[in-house]
Structure 1
Amino acid sequence: MTTVERPRVLGAGTDRVDGPQKAAGSAPYPSDVSYPGMVHAALVRSSIAAGRVVGINTSRAEAAPGVLAVITPDNAPRIERAPDTPIWRQPPPPLQRHTIVHHGQYVGVVVADTVEEATAAARLVDVAYEPTDAVLSLDDPRAITVDDPFGSNRHRGDVMGGFAAADVIFDGEYVTPDETNNPMGLFCTVAAWDGDRLTVHDATQWPDSTRAALAGAFCVPETGIRVLAPYVGGGFGAGLRVWPHTVLAAMAARMVGRPVKLTLTRPQMFTGVGHRPATVQRLRIGARNDGTLTAIEHESVQPVAVDDDNIAESVTTVSAVGYACPNVVNIDRQRRLNIPVPTSMRGPGDAQGHFALECAMDELAYQLGIDPVELRLRNYAEEHPQLGLPWSSKALRECYEVGAERFGWWDRNPTPRSMRRDGVLVGWGMAGVSFFWFQAPCDARASIDREGRAFVRSAATDIGTGTYTVMTQLSADRLGLRPDQVRMGLGDTDLPSAPPQGGSGMTASLGSAIHAASRNLIQAFLDLVADDVASPLRGLTAADVTAVDGRLQRNDDPTRGESYREILDRHDRAELSANGSSVPAKPEELGLAPAGPFAARFVEVHVDPDLDRIKVARLVSVVDAGRILNRKTARSQIVGGTVGGIGMALLEETVTDPTGRIANATFGDYLIPVNADVPDLDVVFVGEPDRFNPVGVKGVGEIGLVGVAPAIANAVFHATGRRVRSLPLTLDKLL
């Protein structure tokens, strides 16, 4: 019997399938869209952070060349607040009131023939305000506190008893600043009405949510709205919500009766599409002299906008699941400030929480005289500490071991300020981290035509993470085709519904749906030949065959089978299609705790002893991300996240002045890493396929960033002997 080997499609470092289009400039981003008769919109923003609009004079703007409309709270149509999503609330509708709650809030929109005319006219709108004192600081006693936005403080065991049993108690406060997502692509919306039907091209990470929000706002059926986002120029979480500018573009298009394009400027990106919220965290850790943890108390406070609840992201949960500590309490609070709305940013919650936890563990290791890696291994959580179930997969121990070996960790002199090279202080630091598990229901549809080509599609977006590529590979693998025989359709609400591209959950969600659609499509071909006496596949099910090289072959005799083309030709069918859906399993159903990715970071920094200038010299990341579908794109995600982590550690901080204005809202003033800030990055993948989804994957989009900042901070302490507990680690904090 001859066995036909299945070609290896998954795991290989395949080039991006969308690379040629992007390199040629032909990938259609929202800002590239044009319609006949399209006009442009520009925003008018508040120049105060709190108060009321008491008068708006639009006469100069209305008389400006090319202006078609000036829309303000005085003449804007009434629209509804978009319905809540399963994850968070949508923002209040724009231009529906005269109250000002943050600097940069939209108070008007100007529509004109050209973007230059709209921008010039927007400057001519005169707005009179009645300001009030803004609440801008977490420690302002006027700030309203939202206690425990998660419903109840999370406890495990007897925390007070755990501290009483401790030989050593560490107590420290850590601070992380506001940071801004800053994708390269400026967010843009193009809206075109045809009667009551609306087509929107938008820089969104969740087209289905945008469609639902616009349908709710304008009281039209979702079936009458199509949202297109086949390519998005980055998001980092900024595109997860339906922001006011998207609603305003649709409003303006309806009012002027022409398609409207609205593109945010870079300063508007700082106030209009969210940011990572600052945190102030307090950590108390109790331990015995041998390093065994007895208690953890982790408290955090972060800002939330005055009237926009958005998603509350737990910062402290990392302490509940990170280590095998029997007694833990997690307390998250929010305080309402007159600031632009915070939102998710790459590694939300876990990035800030791990900075505090992993720095505190490093400080505890020094206090106990135990190596930082050894301390973590002594408290390794073999099962999920909260659920008491075995992990669906976990190779964090291997991350520590492989990372320490590759980095040469055991050659480290543990004494701070003891290592020098070429006149600079050398520091070695590390951190062990995880990212929360997220998977959502998803649908996909797969078709194969008479040419043996597949078309697989879903409404999901690709924000540059490689979704087009890995889903093409997965589809080819499941259908027994070459990747060049698969066309992937994404970013269109006319396609099967999909969850947000966020939370590192898309590969598992969409991958599981494509797995199901592919299986159902193979079964559809077998159903077509179920009574076909000419078919060697008659009477078989999908479990009885393997798809290889464009054909279905019997498992009991691989020499017998037939191609998709042969089946379609004989039955006079142009194509065959099937749907597939994925719904994440529940832990109690599988008896497993769902595991997100894990990683260990090992960092070497060089610090100038005279100037205290910090440079990251090398960085090793060892990552457990389950089955890797494409090592090239997965490594790229880890590298990109690591660069973001370097920015978080050393550079990034969104600065708000005493008036509530963001003072560094440009790429000239908001510092992000450049090539000179980034060393060669060593990335290693370990671990086995995860058991919580049929594809075996875990996300890699955010684990690349989480843990980089504390590893760098710990290395800086080792180099200098000075502990900095606030980010970014600027030289003035070391002086």
Structure 2
Amino acid sequence: MTAIIGAGIDRVDAALKVTGSANYPNDVAYPGLAHAALVRATVAAGRIRAIDTSAAEAAPGVLTVITHLTAPRLDRGPMTLLGPSPPAPIQDDRILHHGQHVAIVVADSPERARHAASLVRVEYETVKALLDLDDPRAEVTANPWNLDTDRGDVAAGFAAADVVVEGTYTTPDNTNNPLGLMSTVAIWHGDSLTVHDSTQWPHNVRTSLAKIFKVPESGIRVLAPYVGGGFGAGLRMWPHVILTVLAAREVGRPVKLVLTRPEMFTSVGHRPHSVMRFKLGATRDGRLMAIDADGVSPVAMEDDDYEPVSLCAATAYGCSHVRTRDRQVRLNIPCPGSMRAPAEGQGNFGLESAVDELAHALGMDPLELRLRNFAQADPESGLPWSSNALRECYRLGAERFGWSRRTPQPGSMREGRWLIGYGMAAVSYPAYQVPCQARASLHRDGSAFVRSAATDIGTGTYTVMTQLAAESLGLDVSRVRFDLGDSDMPYSPQAGGSGLTGALGNAVHLACRRLVGDVLDLVRDDANSPLRGMKLDDVTVDQGRVHRVGIPEQGEAYSDILARHGVEELSADGRSIPPRSEDLGMAVAGAFGAKFVEVRVDPDLGLLRVARVVSAIDGGRVLNEKTATSQIVGGTVGGISQAMFEDTATDRETGRIANATFGDYLIPVNADIPDIDVIFVGEPDPATPIGTKGVGEVGLVGLAAAIANAVHHATGRRIRTLPITIDQLML
């Protein structure tokens, strides 16, 4: 075997991106391309009393204006792996949230489309919007996805506890803001359809459009070879995609729609705000006796996104008595959706802040408290973990960070005018994997082509799958081409949930192994081959050759075998199956980690600076250390942003998002980000053939709690509401 896996090679798509040659959806052009613009509701609840499109229709270059009065009836999209599809757009006169699409205008240029959209006049009959979780008029659903947990006897656990802490923790709406504006280009060819879309899941777009427009899936092709980020915004097929496809059918021309930045805030989901209550009880020596957690978050009026923010408490620690409860409240808000580390990003902030409060109440080092409650086995099933290097994350992360220098008393560490704080948080992110398919082909020249309908949203999928295929086939990376982002390729699930690398990687590995087996089948009865009669277990691959294990000279090159047998191309398919705990006799483990943070606080000005971050991560087998490190660094930046900056501000009277631009929505800049140290620990996870765990989500989780805990250590102030702002810190 070669030694390609693990090496931090440069991204194979880097040159295309830095030279501007990578073709993103908003780069796509067709002859006769028309452009679309949206008209959005300016109220949060009510009905459209009248809509006047005459001025827009008369504007130069306008091809059509589609409203609920002229749009055909469309079915809702199908149930997906991530839940129901969002409702179809402009189907009636109801207004369910501010910014809802009420019309789409198509013109011969983007400028003319936007101008015409501004001419559409809408009159509304308004009602008082539901915008507050505590509004007594709102519909509340308990345990909507049946994920609430009960373990042991929580009341008895608290009765046996010496120390009990309880707190309420809140997180605000955050909005996915990938740098690339999400865009769609649609073109009909008779009854066939091609769509270029900023999606993280091409097959979902194809399946959804087939149901909505009543056309066969075989007649739809969805292309997303490059996506300008996503962070979860591209996991669902949003209404603007449907409108673009509808507009293209209506005008008989290809149509492009590029969302504006303000439209991104109301069109492609957001992390919903949450209110969480965590109650923890422990013995005097730090043994957790009971955990009780409740969470509530909003959902849109006709949507079913769900974020069980309390659920993380069920498996984070070895505690015998645990109860978690989650509720949803229907409000007049845009549809929420996944944003990097959904549910865990919010829930971990509450849980790990509460654990820190418990450590302080016990007079115990926060790291020691977590070590004493390490879950030796999966707390829910009782099965041993397939792998769990969290203890090693604690140990190596603390050593690298210098945790032993921490003095226990809040406010006891200082450097000049700055108060110094050390904080930490434990992280566990659940395993997630679904079936995936890939196809691998060998060409007569000895090169390989591997493909699957996955997407690469910046995570490095092109690169790590090229590496994996190269190692599995014994080829140099330069001899392997990996392609993705095309729904005509073998099925792939979404790029999200930290599940794609495992699902796709296992499928690629199996496809390549079968391909080598097919090569051996060619020479099974070949008297001229030194590999005659050999099986997969008898051989290994290296430098473009198949040879007997331990005997490199007893083998031959792929190119020679294919040429001798007159084969131009040989292909094999691989299909990965998610591991099941009940089959393995062990709990399939996700990623684990420990986050250590140093902050500095100016008590007079209320300034907060993050000085250092150390992330120790158990991510199983790391396929590319450079791209994996980049994932943790990017997640760390997102975690700092969640802790200190991001807050989608909705006016509680009108439902309008008040800061829907990069001028008003705060995100960190380079000067806000400190040195970020990343350590990978642990071994390949035996639950899957390639031994990986996802690291895309775990990089963000824990940063908000670690920063808040560090602020408490620096100042003595316990921050339970994100983001942490100047007014909370002025002493």
Question: Is residue 2:36 matched to residue 1:55?
Answer: no
From 137, 141, 149, the counterpart of 2:144:
149
614, 617, 638: which is aligned to 1:623?
617
Q: Which amino acid aligns with 2:103?
A: G
* Number of the residue aligned with 1:526: 520
- SS of alignment partner, residue 289 of structure 2: strand
- Confirm whether residue 384 of structure 1 aligns to residue 378 of structure 2: yes
How has the CA–CA distance of structure 1 residues 17 and 618 changed in structure 2, closer, same or farther, with 3 Å as cutoff? same
Q: Which of the residues 90, 112, 120 maps onto 2:115?
A: 120
Amino acid at match of 1:28: N
Contact 2:309 2:347 in 1 (8 A): yes
Give 1:244's match in structure 2, choosing from 239, 248, 263: 239
Secondary structure in 1 aligned to 2:399?
Answer: helix
Q: Which of 505, 514, 518 is the aligned partner of 2:508? A: 514
**Distance in structure 2 (CA, Å) of the matches to 1:237 and 1:620:** 25
1:226-305 map, 5 Å = 226-305=221-300
| Residue matched to 1:69 | 64
Which residue of the partner structure matches residue 3 of structure 1?
none
* Alpha-carbon separation, structure 2, partners of 1:273 and 1:331: 27
Question: What secondary structure is seen at the aligned counterpart in 1 of 2:175?
Answer: coil
The answer to whether the aligner puts 1:440 opposite 2:434 as a matched pair is yes
- Tell me which residue corresponds to 1:404: 398
The residue type equivalent to 1:461 in the other structure is: T
* 1:419 aligns to 2:409 (yes or no): no
Q: Which amino acid is 1:499 matched to?
A: P
CA displacement 1:124-183 (0-9 Å, x = unmatched) = 001110000000011111111011112263100011111111111111100000000100
- What residue ranges of structure 2 are gaps of 5+ in the alignment? none
1:429 aligns with 2:429: no
- Paired with 2:621 and 2:516, the residues of 1 have a C-alpha distance of 23
Provide the alpha-carbon RMSD of the alignment. 0.8
- In structure 1, which of residues 563, 570, 575 is the aligned counterpart of residue 557 of structure 2? 563
Match of 1:709 in 2: 704
CA distance in 2, matches of 1:733, 1:609: 10
**Same amino acid, percent of matched pairs:** 61
Query: Which residues in structure 2 correspond to 1:656-675 (within 5 Å)?
Result: 656-657=650-651, 658-675=653-670
Question: Displacement, 1:54?
Answer: 1.2
1:462 match: secondary structure: coil
Are 1:9 and 2:8 counterparts? no
Q: Which amino acid in 2 is paired with 1:545?
A: V
Alpha-carbon distance between aligned partners in 2 of 1:47 and 1:300, rounded to the nearest angstrom: 31
Deviation at 1:59, TM superposition (A): 0.4
Is residue 271–residue 336 contact of structure 2 (8 Å, CA) maintained in 1?
yes
- Per-residue deviation at 1:734? 2.3
Q: Deviations over 1:505-548 (max 9, x none)?
A: 11100000001100110011111111111111111111111011
Cα distance in structure 1, aligned partners of 2:610 and 2:585:
42
- The 5-angstrom pairing of residues 721-732 of structure 1 reads 721-732=716-727
**2-structure distance, mates of 1:95, 1:136:** 22
Whether the aligned pair in 1 keeps the contact of 2:63 and 2:251 (CA below 8 Å) is yes
Q: Report the TM-score when normalising by structure 2.
A: 0.99
Q: Deviations over 1:73-123 (max 9, x none)?
A: 000111111111132100111111110000000000000000000000000
1-side partners of 2:566 and 2:307: how far apart? 54
SS at match of 2:80: coil
Give the superposition deviation at 1:318.
1.3
Match of 2:449 among 452, 455, 458: 455
Partner of 2:497: 503
Q: What is the distance in 2 between the residues matched to 1:576 and 1:126?
A: 60
Structure 2: which amino acid aligns with 1:402? Answer: L
For the residues of structure 2 that align with 1:541 and 1:205, how far apart are their CA atoms?
A: 38
**TM-aligned CA deviation for residue 422 of structure 1:** 2.3
Other structure's SS at 2:328 match: strand
Which residue number in structure 2 is paired with residue 535 of structure 1?
Answer: 529
Give the superposition deviation at 1:274: 0.2
Give the partner amino acid of 1:184.
L
Aligned equivalent of 2:485? 491
Distance in 2 separating the partners of 1:676 and 1:489: 36
Q: Distance in 1 between matches of 2:560 and 2:654?
A: 71
Written as runs of structure 1 = structure 2, the 5 A alignment for 1:549-588 is 549-555=543-549, 557-588=551-582
Partner of residue 32, structure 1: 27
For 2:344, give the aligned amino acid.
D
Say whether residues 1:687 and 2:682 are aligned partners.
Answer: yes
Cα deviation, residue 557, structure 1: 2.7
**What amino acid sits opposite 1:52 in the alignment?**
R
Partner of 2:642: 648
Deviations 1:40-64 (A, max 9, x none): 0000000000000111110000000
Once structures 1 and 2 are overlaid, which stretch shifts more, 533-542 or 610-619?
533-542
Amino acid at match of 2:690: V
Structure 2 CA distance for aligned equivalents of residues 38 and 226 of structure 1: 18
Equivalent position SS for 1:598 = strand
Taking the aligned partners of 1:221 and 1:544, their CA distance within structure 2 comes to: 45
Q: Find the aligned partners of 1:328 and 1:374 in 2 and give their Cα distance.
A: 21
Which residue of 468, 489, 494 maps to 2:462?
468
2:211 is equivalent to residue 216 of structure 1 = yes
2:307 paired residue among 313, 328, 331: 313
Establish whether residue 604 from structure 1 lines up as the match of residue 607 from structure 2. Answer: no
**CA distance in structure 2 between the partners assigned to 1:458 and 1:214 by the alignment:** 20
Aligned letter for 1:629?
A: L
Alignment of 1:355-366 (within 5 A): 355-366=349-360
Amino acid at match of 2:20: G
C-alpha separation in 2, matches of 1:72 and 1:456: 44
Q: Secondary structure at the residue paired with 2:508?
A: helix
Q: How far 1:585 moved relative to its partner?
A: 1.7
Contact kept, 8 Å, 2:147 with 2:308, in 1: the verdict is no
Distance 1:31 1:578 in 2: 34
For 2:338 and 2:686, the matched residues in 1 are separated by: 27
- Distance in 2 (alpha carbons) for counterparts of 1:320 and 1:175: 19
What TM-score, normalized to structure 1? 0.99
The structural deviation recorded for 1:556 is: 5.4
1:195 corresponds to 2:214 = no
Q: Which amino acid aligns with 1:80?
A: D
Q: In the TM superposition, what whole-angstrom CA distance separates every residue of 1:379-436 from its partner, at most 9, and x where no partner exists?
A: 0001100011111111110111111111111111110011110221111101111111
- Whether the 8 Å CA contact 2:35–2:256 is kept in 1: the answer is yes
Match of 1:107 in 2: 102
1:560 match: secondary structure: strand
- Between the aligned partners of 1:210 and 1:45, the Cα distance in structure 2 is 23
Partner AA of 1:425 in structure 2? L
1:171 aligns with 2:171: no
Q: Give the CA deviation at 1:313.
A: 2.5
**In the TM superposition, what whole-angstrom CA distance separates every residue of 1:301-335 from its partner, at most 9, and x where no partner exists?**
0000011113x222112111100000000101100
Using the alignment, how far apart are the partners of 2:447 and 2:342 within structure 1? 39
Query: Which residue does 1:371 correspond to in 2?
Result: 365
Partner of 2:473: 479
Unaligned runs of 5+ in 1: 1-5
> Residue type of the partner of 2:516?
I
Partner Cα separation in structure 2 for residue 342 and residue 409 of structure 1: 38
Q: In 1, distance between residues paired with 2:628 and 2:366?
A: 28
Label 1:556 to 1:647 Cα distance change in 2 as closer, same or farther (>3 A): closer
Task: State the secondary structure of the residue aligned to 2:119.
Answer: coil
CA shift digits 1:328-372 (9 cap, x unpaired): 001011000000000000011111110001000000000001100
